Amino acid sequence: MNGEIDRSWRDPELLVKALPSVILQTAFFLAPLLMTVALTFQRTKNFQLTWTWSLDTWTDIFTKPHYWTILGHTLFMAITCVILCLVIAFPVAYALATRLRAFQDHVKVLITFAFLTDATLKTFGWVLFLDKNGAANYLLQQVGFPPATIDILFTDWATMLGMVYNLLSFAIFTIYLSIDAIDRSLILAAYDAGASKFRTFWEVTLPLARPGIWAASVLIFLLAVGVFLEPKVLGGGKSPMSAELIRQTFETRVNWPLGAALTLVLMTVAVFVVLLFNRVYSLKRHMGPV
């Protein structure tokens, strides 16, 4: 739609604008990532890295089920988190885009602020709220419930609550953008064709919002796979997820090759899951609803 301008890499205007980003992400994202791959083939001795090539780390990983149990748990939590986020975010995003004319801006500001506030602090806030002697139970007791009605702190439930809490905004914004982009006249055309509101939603709005839903799913899944704060602070570290395992490997066990390998396994599996879902999703689209 916009006039796109042909540029060559010799053009100084392109270089000035593109190179900083290229250098930044090459030097501090791509290169470290490649080095991480190289690290997995090294050995450690007495908590010191020795640059000797070996497959020890990988043999270790593929022979110990312990790592895979944790990975499985992580994937389960991440997928659950994605589903919960989508289910909660969709009506909110839909209301933001189609209702709430007057309050839309205010609601957006409120959500943005909550999103941008430091996750550590908010997670800590949940601890104070959910604690056996915390705010929630205190309030419930005031209205006549028995003490400690809510007792989920330091369980997977609290972890999940924290994950959904910290990632929900991504879903709301991404889905909101895709619903907002839908041409209103398409929806009017559906009403005009005799479709009820629900029918229109189901057959027009939802399919057209699919790119946003998909983008939100991928983003949240990739971020959820790497959470560490929630299982540690809200889950009490009782059922560790992969990120916590990786952190421990680096910090407590000082085993860099293993930590690097676990990082790669986590990222590879996560990307693989995304691709798998993408495949199922596009197949379904070609064959129509199953």
Site for other proteins in 50-89 (CB under 8 A): 88
Residue 175 contacts other proteins per CB under 8 A: no
Using the rule CB under 8 A, which residue among 18, 55, 181, 188 binds other proteins? 18
For tokens 């994202």, the residue is: 29
Name the one range near other proteins by CB under 8 A: 52-60, 111-119, 143-151, 182-190.
111-119
CB closer to other proteins, 5 vs 287: 5
Build a one-symbol-per-residue string for 201-220: x at contacts with other proteins by CB under 8 A, - elsewhere: -----------------xx-
Residue 168 contacts other proteins per CB under 8 A: yes
**What's the min distance (Å) between Cβ of 149 and other proteins?**
14
Number of C-beta neighbours around residue 117 at 10 A: 11
Using the rule CB under 8 A, which residue among 47, 102, 118, 287 binds other proteins? 118
CB closer to other proteins, 118 vs 287: 118
Measured distance between the N- and C-terminal CA atoms of the chain, rounded to whole angstroms: 36
CB closer to other proteins, 5 vs 290: 5
CB closer to other proteins, 17 vs 210: 17
Q: Calculate Rg over the CA atoms of the chain.
A: 24
Residue 227: partners with Cβ closer than 8 Å, 6 or more residues away? 162, 163, 166, 241, 243
Build a one-symbol-per-residue string for 214-253: x at contacts with other proteins by CB under 8 A, - elsewhere: ----xx--xx-xxxxx---x---------x--xx--x---
Pair 94, 204: CB distance under 8 Å: no
Q: Report the C-alpha gap between 189 and 200 in whole angstroms.
A: 9
**What's the min distance (Å) between Cβ of 29 and other proteins?**
6
Residue 171: partners with Cβ closer than 8 Å, 6 or more residues away? 85, 86, 88, 89, 90, 93, 216, 220
Angle (CA) 44-48-54 rounded to 5° is 25
Q: What SS3 state is found at 218?
A: helix
Pair 223, 170: CB distance under 8 Å: yes
Q: Report the C-alpha gap between 223 and 20 in whole angstroms.
A: 26
Pair 234, 158: CB distance under 8 Å: yes
**What's the min distance (Å) between Cβ of 17 and other proteins?**
4
Name the one range near other proteins by CB under 8 A: 17-25, 52-60, 63-71, 180-188.
17-25
**What's the min distance (Å) between Cβ of 287 and other proteins?**
26
CB closer to other proteins, 63 vs 102: 102
Q: CA separation (Å) from 61 to 45, 115, 209?
A: 18, 36, 40
Using the rule CB under 8 A, which residue among 54, 117, 268, 282 binds other proteins? 117
* Strand partners for 48: 45
Build a one-symbol-per-residue string for 133-162: x at contacts with other proteins by CB under 8 A, - elsewhere: xxx--x------------------------
Using the rule CB under 8 A, which residue among 45, 198, 289, 290 binds other proteins? 198
Using the rule CB under 8 A, which residue among 102, 113, 143, 185 binds other proteins? 113
Residue 109 contacts other proteins per CB under 8 A: yes
